[in-house]
Amino acid sequence: MTQITRRGVAAMVVILPLTAALRCSAPSRESIPPTVELPRIPQTGEFGPASHTYELVGPLVPKTTTMVTAWDLPQNPLTDPALDIRADADMIRQGFQLFTNTPEATPRFTASGMTCANCHLNQGQRELALPLVGTSGMFPEYNNRAGRSFSLEDRIVGCFYRSENAVHGSDNGGLSAARSGTVPSPPTVNTDTPLLPNVDSEEVVALAAYLRYLSEGYTPGEDLPWRKKNRILRESLLPIDTLDPQRGEAVYTEWCVNCHGPEGQGVQVGDKKAGPLWGPRSWNDGAGMARFYTLAGFIRYAMPYLDPGVLSDEDAQHVSAFIISKPRPSYPYKDEDYQVEPLPVDAAFYGFDDIEGVSGHSP
């Protein structure tokens, strides 16, 4: 067990071998701890392991999806005939393809093996899985990490830098290895001529066009009932120093390994593959998913992919600690983050005296 101290906050993180976080087959419901009842709000319905009854009133694929509906797309620009007469049709469709298969559609900006749809399930159209329907109208929006207002394009650039790890460039050998399911060597940062996206990059503009397409019909600034709901209730959050990666590994082995594999790199099933949860092709340590509670909220409400909601609040947090204890790329500009707003208590890779003890990598 490694003691890590961050700006007066102590956290105990156990460095363990991992196995990851989804499962296609479910264990006995009797073994599942009870969950906290969520407030009744539109689009969330009943939630918890005891009841999967649900009637969705809205534009999203319901969280209680089945093998039949798991990959439904209420809005698909590739098959939407209304786009045929629009001048922006090609840009919207390019954005959709980028969203669906990011590493292959833009290898120059994607050092990771992550696609946008790995986190924003059903191409940003599934409830409680970071849905993006209607969200383009929420921008410009204040970003706590940057301490300034972000445009939609700013937000997309941030995802490229962090979740797609664009700051580490791309290499065809690594991409080929990622496709084959092997674990490649980490890419090398090109500090002389870094290839980084900006708000005017073609890929960023195309992704913004797709997100605006998903938001058509919604009033800018409209309070969307499905936005930011994949968060564990504050009273159910565990202190950071009580998170147990060893317990998280056991949960991962039971629920996640079928889709993510024992090495966390994702299992290829037909044309589908779960995203890598750690290692050189995963998100870097400056991404939102590198925060304990942020990752735990996603796991709690969106995972396992075909049976979301079966994990308890506690188990989701322990799984997040297990995943975060594994190696991942370092984001080189963390010292520029949180210069205005307070550092979140669950920001695992900021200000620790012993960052290698947490992340397993050298910054």
Our CA dihedral for 78, 81, 85, 87, rounded to 10 degrees, sits at -30
**Whether residues 246 and 175 fall in one domain:** no
Is 137 or 183 the better-scoring residue by pLDDT? Answer: 137
Would you say 21 and 303 are in contact if contact means Cβ atoms under 8 Å apart? yes
Identity of the amino acid at 237: L
**Whether residues 123 and 240 fall in one domain:** no
**Whether residues 242 and 314 fall in one domain:** yes
Give 224-260 pLDDT, tens digit per residue: 888 888 899 999 999 999 999 999 999 999 999 999 9
In a domain, 75, yes or no: no
For residues 352 and 8, what is the distance between their CA atoms, to the nearest angstrom? 10
Is 265 or 180 the better-scoring residue by pLDDT? Answer: 265
In a domain, 338, yes or no: no
Half-sphere exposure at residue 173, Cβ-oriented, CA atoms within 13 angstroms: 5
Mean pLDDT of 97-125: 95
Express as a percent the part of the chain with pLDDT over 70.
74
- pLDDT score of 54 more than 50: no
- pLDDT score of 53 more than 80: no
Mean pLDDT of 323-338: 96
pLDDT value at residue 159 = 98
CATH number of domain containing 308: 1.10.760.10
In a domain, 136, yes or no: yes
pLDDT value at residue 351 = 66
**Whether residues 199 and 245 fall in one domain:** no
**Whether residues 302 and 267 fall in one domain:** yes
Task: Supply the pTM of this predicted model.
Answer: 0.77
DSSP assignment of 286-314: TSGGGBHHHHHHHHHHH-STTSTT-S-HH
Closest of 347, 241, 232 to residue 289, by C-alpha: 347
Mean pLDDT of 10-21: 33
- pLDDT score of 184 more than 90: no
**SS3 call for 164:** coil
Is 317 or 26 the better-scoring residue by pLDDT? Answer: 317
For residues 171 and 107, what is the distance between their CA atoms, to the nearest angstrom? 8
The single-letter DSSP state of residue 144 is: T
**Whether residues 102 and 165 fall in one domain:** yes
Q: Please report which confidence band the pLDDT of residue 65 belongs to, taking 50, 70 and 90 as the band edges.
A: confident
| Number of folded domains that form the chain | 2
Contacts 24+ apart (CB under 8 A), 193-198: 194/167, 194/169, 195/108, 195/109, 195/166, 195/169, 195/170, 196/109, 196/160, 196/161, 196/166, 196/167, 197/109, 197/156, 197/157, 197/160, 197/161, 197/166, 198/157
**Whether residues 129 and 246 fall in one domain:** no
Would you say 260 and 277 are in contact if contact means Cβ atoms under 8 Å apart? yes
In a domain, 292, yes or no: yes
In a domain, 205, yes or no: yes
In a domain, 199, yes or no: yes
**Whether residues 205 and 108 fall in one domain:** yes
Kindly report whether the peptide bond that precedes residue 140 is cis, defined as omega within 30 degrees of 0.
yes
**Whether residues 163 and 240 fall in one domain:** no
- Radius of gyration over every alpha carbon of the chain, rounded to an integer in angstroms: 19
For residues 181 and 273, what is the distance between their CA atoms, to the nearest angstrom? 10
Kindly report whether the peptide bond that precedes residue 304 is cis, defined as omega within 30 degrees of 0.
yes
Our CA dihedral for 229, 231, 235, 241, rounded to 10 degrees, sits at 180
**SS3 call for 141:** strand
pLDDT value at residue 58 = 66
Mean pLDDT of 83-107: 97
In a domain, 140, yes or no: yes
**Whether residues 201 and 85 fall in one domain:** yes
Lowest mean pLDDT among 123-132, 140-149, 225-234, 312-321: 225-234
Closest of 343, 285, 294, 344 to residue 317, by C-alpha: 294
Give 331-360 pLDDT, tens digit per residue: 999 999 999 999 999 999 996 433 333 433
pLDDT value at residue 292 = 97
**Whether residues 199 and 244 fall in one domain:** no
- Domain limits for position 103: 81-186+195-214
**Whether residues 258 and 304 fall in one domain:** yes
Q: In this structure, is the dihedral angle defined by the CA atoms of residues 135, 136, 137 and 138, taken in order, positive or negative?
A: positive
